[in-house]
Structure 1
Amino acid sequence: MFSSLQCMAASWFFLFLSIFCSAAAQRSIISQNSSLTPSGNSSWLSPSGLYGFGFYQIGSGYAVGIFLNGIPEKTVVWTANRDNAIVPRNVTLVLSSDGSLILQQSQGQDTVIVSAGERILSASMWDSGNFVLYNSAQKIIWQSFDYPTDTLLPGQHIKADQQLYSSASATDQSTGMFRLIMQQDGTLVLYPTGAPNLPPYGYWASNTSNNGVTVTLNLRDDGYLYLLKDNDTIISSLTNGGYPRERTLYRAIVDVDGIFRLYSYSLERGKNWSVLYLNPKNKCDPKGICGLNAFCINQDTEIQCICLPGFDFISRDNMSSGCERNFTIQGCKSPKESLNFTIAPLDNTVWENAAYDTVKTSIREECEQVCLNDCNCEAALYKDGECRKQRLPLKYGKRSLGDTDSALVKVGRLGSFTEGGLSFPPKKELRLDILIVSIALLAFSLVIFAVSGVLIHIKLLRDNKNISSHKNAELINNVAPRAFTYAELELATNDFKEELGRGAFGTVYKGTLMNFQKLVAVKRLEKVLTEGEGEREFHNEMTAIGRTHHRNLLRLLGYCVDGVKRLLVYEYMSNGSLADILFAPENKPNWAERIRIACDIARGILYLHEECETQIIHCDIKPQNILMDENNCAKIADFGLAKLLKHDQTKTFTAIRGTKGYVAPEWHQKLPVTVKADVYSFGIVLLEIVCLRKSVDWSFPEDEAILEEWAYDCFQAKELHKLVGDEEIIDMKKLERMIKIAIWCIQGDPSLRPSMKKVLLMLEGTVDIPIPPNPTSFLSSA
């Protein structure tokens, strides 16, 4: 044992001896008249060769700086004259005889790289990454550690009022869009470059104070990043440290995207830099990341910049360049200026408030009109009854799902806009030749349309005649559903022999259209309109439903009206229902398939709520009403039946679903039922998809039997792994995202539930998801 301790002590002695020798070697002198060239001896290396000072290549030019020479990627940690750094190949870097560090060019023009304030006798590149200049007394008169660019290295510190500036890009070391400053008040803050040191402009802060004592930001060689008072008191630890010291490199940097990160690199493994710490966590928090007149949205691990409505990117290759108008605005010249414009709203977006006027308004529509009536108003920010009129450009935009802010942008009436932005034709001068050609083309088009209209009308008359007489059983795609006789459907289903399933609305049978050998599903309805209420009304309703075509809706092929008998003919789904897939042990889908199925269902419901001709509330979203085709694409069934039911069917439906299931609470409370009822049902189905179990299952322990309650308990306790058990490895961040979406959907208060459009955006990872409240809190307070 004693011998082992002796060996260990000896090992440590030689280790410290080698470190001491390296430290001594750091003072190997770069003497006067030493020189470097880009194509020859291009750098002065530190004793170990880990760091180098000299030329590194940028495109076709070169810059002078400090870089890691001992790893495959020459990572730059400091750049001289960073905003005017690029020099040609025919330059020489010289520690001249008159005691200055200069760049000499062939034309005789000299550029001073470092001004030390007194004569430089020698220089040295240290293994710490610090480049040092000495005077004749061998005293340090300048060092790169005192003039950081974007990087903090171990042993270096950022003093009060010192700043790190991000680089412009990964290949351009000039000053970028963001800065980190150690303020006099002891707070470390991230700001946009050019913004004042005031709280509204900071997008991350350490929330520390100095109580009159100087504070510095420090990095240790074990990855410990901390704030230190000048009395050697640590006031804040950004990392815990304790990482490997040997053969491991660390650097803290304000990255191009405005995030302050601490990286490590193992010289043993030689892998890429890995992130140990970062702030802020939200990549859209850095103010101005998308430039002027653009806002930032999160897309999983990446961000996307979107222009204001009516604007296009100045440079598609550089989204942070911002956006400019793609239409012309006339200002205040016309007395009816407001008639030329409309308002394009952007909900859940936050911007810098630079209002020139603020008006109290009770509703957002009033704010829109206030801006339209003011020719100087180019946009307005509306929140909490305040309408803040703005002039362009708008700055620091980002989408924030938890905020109620709305940006109201004034745009020309010519364009049709979507949430992402507007597209307007550029304004051009009127040319007579173009006008004549346009009129001729328009006239020719009208003739073609007229002839086509006549031919289409004749064809429709012929088709209607064939359908009414039942002489042609052809099933035509992309037209309204055709009418069948009861006898035809009896024959197709072999007298309703093979039953596929039963539901609240009737029984479904498998059938075959004999003329085409096409498999169909025939649903025989119950409790629908009686004969006295009109065959024409049922026919019109079927035609309307048949026009709702979407890849995630089950297609209605035809119908039958025979006395009181009502039957519907649907396309046949070979893979059964979602319930067959979720709740059968042998068919359970993997995680990626589950996410795809959830998105399919959301797209189908969104179409019913917002995109078809007449809004449809499904009223019965559940796995049994979601069918799967041969490609396992989810299709919503029975989406039109709510329009066909008797008036008392709603009460019957509610009574059947009296226990916790898929029905929103407002059904039981006799409150008005809106599309948010479908959102609630989707939330329950989403939980079932994620957890691969039924929403109510008393085979589980009592505290786990009701899935929506158990899921929220697991979410609060940060034990989401319990919901998926021992199945395949799942990305816990994605699991948390799905559970948060589901909890928002099943909120007891319908107004808190997101629209299906927002649900789909959340599923696709394009928006942030705030922490949801307890879904039963509204019910308990009601």
Structure 2
Amino acid sequence: MACLACLLALAFVAAEAQQMQSNISQGSSLTPTTNSTWLSRSGLYAFGFYRQGNGYAVGIFLAGIPEETVVWTANRDDPPFSNNATLRFTGDGLALPTAEGQNYLVKPSSTPSYASMLDSGNFVLYNSSREIVWQSFDHPTDTLLPGQRLLSGNELFSAKSEADHSTGIFRLKMQNDGNLVQYPVDTPDTRPYAFYSSSTSGAGENVTLNFGADGHLYLLNRNGTNIRNITEGGLPTDEGKLYLMRIDVGGIFRLYSHDLKKNANWSVQWESSNDKCDPKGLCGLNSYCVSIDLQPDCRCLPRFEYVNQGNQTSGCERNFVADACKNRNENFTYTMEELESTTWEDVSYMNLRLSDRNDCIQGCLEDCNCEAALFDGTNCRKQRLPLRYGRRDTGTSDRALIKVGVPRKPDTDPRIVQPGNKKKGRTGILIIGLSFTAFGSILLLISVIVWWKHNVWAYKRMSAVNGDLELNEGVALRRYAYEELEEMTNNFKEELGRGASSTVYKGLILGTQKPVAVKRLEKVAAEGETEFQTEIRVIGRTHHKNLVRLLGYCLDGAKKLLVYEYMSNGSLADVLFTRERQPFWEERMGIARNIARGFLYLHEECDAQIIHCDIKPQNILLDEFMCPKISDFGLAKLLKADQTRTTTGIRGTKGYVAPEWHRKMPITVKADVYSFGIVLLEIICCRRNVDWSLPEEEAILDELAYNNYHTSR
């Protein structure tokens, strides 16, 4: 009986020793509920299943301490696995069989023979020659361990939360220029988005972040020379101490230590910042970070509420209706509320040189596009929502002025200027009255054109506030890298349209998957350069619901590209001249009225008067609601404050060009009025201006309209 007890004890010890063995052979498997991990030799680290949410994830974690600490996760953005999942070690790697096939969590470069969970925390696959064919140290997630490196071009991404190890909202990148930088996710690697830097830009290629056993974090260049100490190191290196470096959920990366002998908790040895509001994007859109007792607190803009009360990174949204400005609701008005000592990302669409806060407030109230203004005492930068990267900064005098909506009291003074309701003595364009038969409409149209050409100068000019335009002055546009646009357009795969000097492609903004239109200019000579700069200078600072919005640009040597909002219904030509898509009469008249509003803005309401010079149905785009927007300003002319006309070479498209172009006369906004008149005829008749498939007397639409008008008098 005693011998039997000895045999049982020996069997137990042998089984335990086998469990502690780090070598794993092909054919081995793990399940979440039984035989769930492969341990390192000391039992400190484990590879296998761990609890996440309502299921399980696969990764590496510290099993030798009471506080489970995950240091690496496989396919971290996959949904959790169920409790009947089975992870198998095959000749192709580590895979979970699914109904669709094998889901590989580890895919080595060649056939593995066995694997090991090392005491360093590195999980390694070897071939039959004991060569490493895959190791977790080469694929870090949010954590580095001693002996591990972050290679040039690689990144660490924070976890979503302490309990969810999927990808979060911050990243730490070892850039190819030698600089170690922190950014929010889904942002370009440029200075405006950085919130930590090692200040080693220009140190050369192949710089790596290294982690020593004594807690030393340092940068080595390609020659092995130390170019920067991130931490000083020199911490105890005995077996009783653990170290790890992590980019935390809150965006700050820290060096932690853990004393195994004292069974203590993790303690911070070093951190990239002691201000927890430093990480940009910690608070969501339309909210800002305030530090209270060294803890970050996210607060909404005035009259805004959290999108999700339980998640501060979800951002905030208005608690009032936002369209009263454009609808001129007499029972509703706007006022401005102020946030002092706050900083925000500056994506202003207009910069006014103002030193008076009240002038800045009035300028925003009178502009329906302005939803907030950033005022620093000398500049009033008009912004659209959402605002982001907001934080309280007591060291700045900058203030944010937020437009908020309030119901109008019955006794409100009617003399207060309402946004979008400037009294300019306009007489209108009379398009609203175009609801007669086609022939009668043509007669009225000709009268309207003649009337407008003689009376357009009766409108009052708005005073220019920004002086002469320069390419970058007053223009707040995102500058894209060419590689970004290649990725956004899937290498310029889907073509939306083609012109004489450019091609337009569909793209998706990285991260949000919001569609955009990317125009690539084909001309790289002086003509193409002029069109590129003109487009940015004109549309980059004009904002109206009937003008296509320019979102950004790329200027990379000969590569010149422009990024616009996406217009899902194509051009007016696509709709008007395709029989199956032709709008009804009322819808066509609505399109005509909205185009006219766009021209009224260009000619009379902009800081600088703009002549488009190339009006045609192909340059009028339609959004998802069939609202028309004027586009393609590459040939446009800007007039200075003291100009009413300009002399230039002939511009535009045959059939739409006003007679004064051919007579070399000075050009005014009347040139656009003529082109618009031709487009109106096409809208009314649903046919092209020139159609040689028709009898000769009907082929040219404006001549046909004039002859009908003349004979009816």
TM-score band w.r.t. shorter chain: 0.5 to 0.7
Quote the Cα distance in structure 2 between the aligned partners of 1:253 and 1:366: 48
- Give 2:204's aligned residue: 212
Map 1:140-539 → 2, pairs under 5 A: 140-246=132-238, 247-330=240-323, 332-335=325-328, 340-414=333-407
Q: For residue 49 of structure 1, report the CA deviation from its aligned partner.
A: 0.7
Quote the Cα distance in structure 2 between the aligned partners of 1:326 and 1:200: 30
Change (3 A) 1:227 1:104: same
Quote the Cα distance in structure 2 between the aligned partners of 1:244 and 1:352: 43
Change (3 A) 1:415 1:220: farther
Decide whether the 8 Å contact of 2:374 with 2:383 is kept in 1: yes
SS in 2 for 1:212: coil
Q: For residue 280 of structure 1, report the CA deviation from its aligned partner.
A: 1.8
SS in 1 for 2:168: strand
Q: For residue 60 of structure 1, report the CA deviation from its aligned partner.
A: 2.3
Map 1:583-732 → 2, pairs under 5 A: none
Change (3 A) 1:333 1:132: same
Q: Say yes or no: does 1:58 pair with 2:90.
A: no
Q: For residue 319 of structure 1, report the CA deviation from its aligned partner.
A: 0.9
Change (3 A) 1:257 1:369: same
Quote the Cα distance in structure 2 between the aligned partners of 1:120 and 1:413: 68
Q: Which protein is bigger by CA-based radius of gyration?
A: 1
Q: For residue 225 of structure 1, report the CA deviation from its aligned partner.
A: 1.2
Structure 2 gap segments, 5+ residues each: 1-18, 410-713
SS in 1 for 2:86: strand
The list of structure 1 runs, each at least 4 consecutive aligned residues, that deviate by more than 4 angstroms after superposition, is 25-28, 335-339
- Give 1:80's aligned residue: 74
Quote the Cα distance in structure 2 between the aligned partners of 1:115 and 1:360: 58
Decide whether the 8 Å contact of 2:65 with 2:260 is kept in 1: yes
- The amino acid of 1:126's aligned partner reads L
Q: For residue 210 of structure 1, report the CA deviation from its aligned partner.
A: 4.8
SS in 2 for 1:222: coil
Change (3 A) 1:373 1:65: same
- Measured on the aligned residues, the alpha-carbon RMSD in Å equals 2.1
- Give 1:134's aligned residue: 126
Q: For residue 278 of structure 1, report the CA deviation from its aligned partner.
A: 0.4
Q: For residue 407 of structure 1, report the CA deviation from its aligned partner.
A: 0.7
Decide whether the 8 Å contact of 2:37 with 2:46 is kept in 1: yes
1:92 to 76, 83, 86: 86
- The amino acid of 1:150's aligned partner reads D
- The amino acid of 1:34's aligned partner reads S
Q: For residue 333 of structure 1, report the CA deviation from its aligned partner.
A: 2.9
SS in 2 for 1:231: coil
Decide whether the 8 Å contact of 2:365 with 2:403 is kept in 1: yes
Per-residue Cα deviation, 1:566-625 (whole angstroms, up to 9, x for no partner): xxxxxxxxxxxxxxxxxxxxxxxxxxxxxxxxxxxxxxxxxxxxxxxxxxxxxxxxxxxx
- Give 1:29's aligned residue: 23
When normalised by structure 2's length, the TM-score is 0.53
Decide whether the 8 Å contact of 1:372 with 1:410 is kept in 2: yes
SS in 2 for 1:84: coil
Quote the Cα distance in structure 2 between the aligned partners of 1:264 and 1:300: 24
- The amino acid of 2:343's aligned partner reads V
Decide whether the 8 Å contact of 1:227 with 1:236 is kept in 2: yes
- The amino acid of 1:307's aligned partner reads C
- The amino acid of 2:339's aligned partner reads L
- The amino acid of 1:321's aligned partner reads S
Change (3 A) 1:308 1:101: same
Quote the Cα distance in structure 1 between the aligned partners of 2:185 and 2:106: 24
Quote the Cα distance in structure 2 between the aligned partners of 1:193 and 1:259: 14
Map 1:541-580 → 2, pairs under 5 A: none
1:45 to 39, 50, 59: 39
Quote the Cα distance in structure 2 between the aligned partners of 1:41 and 1:108: 25
Quote the Cα distance in structure 1 between the aligned partners of 2:43 and 2:180: 33
Per-residue Cα deviation, 1:355-414 (whole angstroms, up to 9, x for no partner): 111111121111111111000111111113111111111010000001011111100124
Q: For residue 316 of structure 1, report the CA deviation from its aligned partner.
A: 1.3
Quote the Cα distance in structure 2 between the aligned partners of 1:369 and 1:27: 74
Q: For residue 26 of structure 1, report the CA deviation from its aligned partner.
A: 11
SS in 1 for 2:381: strand
Structure 1 gap segments, 5+ residues each: 1-24, 417-782
Q: For residue 44 of structure 1, report the CA deviation from its aligned partner.
A: 0.5
Quote the Cα distance in structure 1 between the aligned partners of 2:153 and 2:20: 29
Quote the Cα distance in structure 1 between the aligned partners of 2:225 and 2:324: 59
Change (3 A) 1:130 1:26: farther
1:119 to 99, 102, 111: 111
- The amino acid of 1:136's aligned partner reads S
SS in 2 for 1:145: helix
Q: For residue 213 of structure 1, report the CA deviation from its aligned partner.
A: 4.5
Map 1:765-780 → 2, pairs under 5 A: none
Quote the Cα distance in structure 1 between the aligned partners of 2:326 and 2:391: 33
Quote the Cα distance in structure 2 between the aligned partners of 1:310 and 1:222: 51
Q: For residue 139 of structure 1, report the CA deviation from its aligned partner.
A: 1.3
Decide whether the 8 Å contact of 1:26 with 1:127 is kept in 2: no
Identity of aligned residues (%): 52
Change (3 A) 1:350 1:127: same
Quote the Cα distance in structure 2 between the aligned partners of 1:284 and 1:258: 9
Change (3 A) 1:140 1:149: same
Q: For residue 115 of structure 1, report the CA deviation from its aligned partner.
A: 1.6
SS in 1 for 2:385: coil
Q: For residue 100 of structure 1, report the CA deviation from its aligned partner.
A: 2.2
- Give 1:576's aligned residue: none
Q: For residue 42 of structure 1, report the CA deviation from its aligned partner.
A: 0.4
Decide whether the 8 Å contact of 1:338 with 1:372 is kept in 2: no
Quote the Cα distance in structure 1 between the aligned partners of 2:407 and 2:140: 51
SS in 2 for 1:261: strand
Decide whether the 8 Å contact of 2:305 with 2:318 is kept in 1: yes
Quote the Cα distance in structure 2 between the aligned partners of 1:197 and 1:68: 33
Q: For residue 415 of structure 1, report the CA deviation from its aligned partner.
A: 10
Q: For residue 193 of structure 1, report the CA deviation from its aligned partner.
A: 0.7
Quote the Cα distance in structure 2 between the aligned partners of 1:126 and 1:383: 56
SS in 1 for 2:72: strand
Change (3 A) 1:222 1:283: same
- The amino acid of 2:317's aligned partner reads E
Decide whether the 8 Å contact of 1:159 with 1:182 is kept in 2: yes
When normalised by structure 1's length, the TM-score is 0.48
Quote the Cα distance in structure 2 between the aligned partners of 1:161 and 1:216: 9
Quote the Cα distance in structure 1 between the aligned partners of 2:37 and 2:226: 38
